[in-house]
Structure 1
Amino acid sequence: MRQTATRPASGKHGSRNKDDNRPNLYQEVTSRIIAELEQGQFPWVQPWGRATAGVGLPRNAVTGRCYSGVNILILWGAVIEKGFPSQHWITFKQAVGAGGFVRKGERGTTVCYADRFIPKSEAERTAQDGDEPATVPFLKRFTVFNIAQCEGLPDDLAREAEPLPEREIVPHAERLIKATGADFRIGGEQAFYVPARDFIQVPPQPAFHEQINYYRTCFHEIGHWTGHASRLARDLSGRFGSALYAREELVAEMASAFICASLNIIPTVRHADYLATWLDVLRQDDRAIFRAASQASKAADFILGCGEGVETDAVEREIAA
């Protein structure tokens, strides 16, 4: 939850791409996600209980790089739907380059690649005028395969995350919360972030019926915290019930899910009561889920980046003390 404060929106809108394929791909992915939401299924919170793959962010098996944005939702959905035992993916060429191959008859999963380019005419104009060139966004699709669809790959391409220990305090989650440096206050009966005063408050962990929900809630609120003007500068001025408010809640929901998955904590829905508003937003704008997922990935990367290089046993010593 977020307490609202007025702050001007930031960012620039690029010019629209006239490529006919791009709107089709936007609509294709958006329609798929709307269909899941209409059935009460949240793409960023998959039914991991019936999955054979461990919880984690999908990543490229060769580069080790995690997929981001809407591609996380697409690949999580494929892992659950097709029962893949791994969160690792690879392109056809990468499989061959690694000494393996995709089995005959296997169908890949379509993911998206977004970037920007400078048209030739624009480059020529700015070369004469000395202006900054206007870039044009584009969206392309390409196909990846789960490593379970391949043979002959080296064993080290299939390493999965270790499962969480069965305990209520999750030390690496505690370390990450501390590493953000956020003004984090424990108390009260509600969890919220106050943009105007830049602090987070969450109830004490024993107040949660399932104590693991404490961490899911913490990362939801820290997701909002990343939107402050001094950090990722999202527009946090939306009032409760507005589309802008719902969009920010969607970002925080997915950011929490992405962080939890990276920490091997099963994500859950923290604010399902926004479902109707989220559906309205997605139906009105087929790019909304792409923007929200991209912002959620940036928020998750920002938070996870805070934890890099943190001393591994610092929090355990504090807890023990």
Structure 2
Amino acid sequence: MGKATDKPSPADIITHTIIDKLEAGVRPWVKPWRPGLGGRPLRATGDPYRGINCFWLWLCAEGAGFNSRTWMTYKQAQALGGQVREGERSQIAIFYKSYSKTVESAVTGDTTDEMRRVLRSYAVFNCDQIDGLSAEYYPSRMSVVPPADQLPARAQAFIDGLPIKVDQRGDRAFYDRIADSITMPPVDLFSTRAHFAATLAHEAGHATGHPDRLNREFGKKFGDHAYAFEELVAEMTSALLGADLGLPTSHIDGHAAYIGSWLKVLRKDSRAIMTAAAKAEAAAAYLLRATGLGGSAEAEDKIREAA
């Protein structure tokens, strides 16, 4: 008998699905919701998912046409009085399990305890797959993008509180790492104020990599694709901020040229997308705390350590 095929890891499942989308010209973090989905995916507790789980469950919800933001396990659904419908298929959510391993030195023979992390997954269902839950788990459709002449309060507070120099001039949006400043086209060149704010969030994502902030720089691991990988982190940061601030992510159409580089990286390293998502989560957390919109230094430190 032939050798059984190894079961794909959670990282492989997520990465291969995202590669398929990228090859089709679709970036899962661009406009990752339809009216009704609103912001980040939520756990049964109401807490938002973070990191790669956020992007993965957005992708799953979009593909299945789910309207609810909330995902839960079979047991959680039952505990809340619900029942997963027969035949419904679960999706995975991931987490890292930490454990201690005793390692012996090949030179001295001494032993030390080292902390290790292993990737694990569990099965979750969207509330649209579950009958009998209370009404708040089944939201009605709503408009996500605000009118052109105003911004959601949190988005305006984000712009007002951004602790990075922003100059409005010219017709290009970019972050200058040496000058540590963002250049934006004037707001009246954008189709809506929401698109101006979303583009600013993208450039602010780049700014978090400055040595005085998160000191993010990709080296040999991503090789010649380091610049494109940084662009991926900024895109994903903008998508997370968009969900938290009520902004669109359809403004990122000008970065399709990076898709080829991303595909090469993801094909070579199935955990690269996890790295990008973790770095984006850390960047978003930094910016939200810096603008006074949530989080604490302690919580931010934990996110940064996980990244």
Which TM-score band (shorter chain)?
Answer: 0.7 to 0.9
Is 1:45 equivalent to 2:26 in the alignment?
no
Q: Secondary structure at the match of 2:37?
A: coil
The alpha carbon displacement at 1:272 in A equals 1.8
Is 1:55 equivalent to 2:35 in the alignment?
no
The alpha carbon displacement at 1:153 in A equals 1.8
Q: Which residue of 1 aligns with 2:149?
A: 168
- Judging changes above 3 Å, is the alpha-carbon distance between structure 1 residues 46 and 184 closer, same or farther for their aligned structure 2 residues? closer
Contact 1:52/1:84 (8 A) holds in 2: no
The alpha carbon displacement at 1:27 in A equals 2.0
- Spell out, residue by residue over 1:112-137, the C-alpha distance to the aligned partner (whole angstroms, 9 max, x if none): 21243212x249xxxx9796x42222
Query: For 1:143-154, what aligned pairs fall within 5 Å after superposition?
Result: 143-154=123-134
Is 1:29 equivalent to 2:14 in the alignment?
yes
The alpha carbon displacement at 1:159 in A equals 5.3
Is 1:93 equivalent to 2:78 in the alignment?
no
Contact 2:205/2:238 (8 A) holds in 1: yes
- Spell out, residue by residue over 1:276-296, the C-alpha distance to the aligned partner (whole angstroms, 9 max, x if none): 111121122211111001111
Contact 2:40/2:69 (8 A) holds in 1: yes
Contact 1:100/1:153 (8 A) holds in 2: yes
- Judging changes above 3 Å, is the alpha-carbon distance between structure 1 residues 249 and 66 closer, same or farther for their aligned structure 2 residues? same
Q: How far apart in 2 are the matches of 1:47 and 1:97?
A: 30
Structure 1 residue identity aligned to 2:37 = G
Query: For 1:132-281, what aligned pairs fall within 5 Å after superposition?
Result: 133-158=113-138, 163-170=144-151, 171-209=153-191, 211-235=193-217, 242-268=224-250, 269-270=252-253, 271-281=255-265
Q: Secondary structure at the match of 2:89?
A: coil
Contact 1:180/1:306 (8 A) holds in 2: yes
Structure 2 residue identity aligned to 1:142 = Y
The alpha carbon displacement at 1:173 in A equals 1.4
TM-score (norm 1): 0.77
- Spell out, residue by residue over 1:253-297, the C-alpha distance to the aligned partner (whole angstroms, 9 max, x if none): 011011112222231224222111111211222111110011111
Q: How far apart in 2 are the matches of 1:237 and 1:306?
A: 27
Q: Secondary structure at the match of 1:178?
A: helix
Q: How far apart in 1 are the matches of 2:137 and 2:198?
A: 29
Contact 1:53/1:79 (8 A) holds in 2: no
- Judging changes above 3 Å, is the alpha-carbon distance between structure 1 residues 210 and 242 closer, same or farther for their aligned structure 2 residues? farther
The alpha carbon displacement at 1:90 in A equals 1.2
TM-score (norm 2): 0.81
The alpha carbon displacement at 1:162 in A equals 7.1
Contact 1:70/1:290 (8 A) holds in 2: yes
- Judging changes above 3 Å, is the alpha-carbon distance between structure 1 residues 292 and 78 closer, same or farther for their aligned structure 2 residues? same
CA RMSD of aligned residues (A): 2.8
Q: How far apart in 2 are the matches of 1:279 and 1:301?
A: 27
The alpha carbon displacement at 1:46 in A equals 4.2
- Judging changes above 3 Å, is the alpha-carbon distance between structure 1 residues 115 and 201 closer, same or farther for their aligned structure 2 residues? farther
Contact 1:236/1:248 (8 A) holds in 2: yes
- Judging changes above 3 Å, is the alpha-carbon distance between structure 1 residues 305 and 151 closer, same or farther for their aligned structure 2 residues? farther
The alpha carbon displacement at 1:42 in A equals 0.4
Q: How far apart in 1 are the matches of 2:64 and 2:123?
A: 16
Q: Which residue of 2 aligns with 1:117?
A: 99
Q: Which residue of 1 aligns with 2:285?
A: 301
- Spell out, residue by residue over 1:44-69, the C-alpha distance to the aligned partner (whole angstroms, 9 max, x if none): 11464xx4633311111x32211122
Q: How far apart in 2 are the matches of 1:107 and 1:70?
A: 20
- Judging changes above 3 Å, is the alpha-carbon distance between structure 1 residues 88 and 279 closer, same or farther for their aligned structure 2 residues? same
Equivalent of 1:284, from 265, 268, 277? 268
- Judging changes above 3 Å, is the alpha-carbon distance between structure 1 residues 309 and 264 closer, same or farther for their aligned structure 2 residues? closer
Q: Which residue of 2 aligns with 1:69?
A: 51
Q: How far apart in 1 are the matches of 2:25 and 2:283?
A: 25
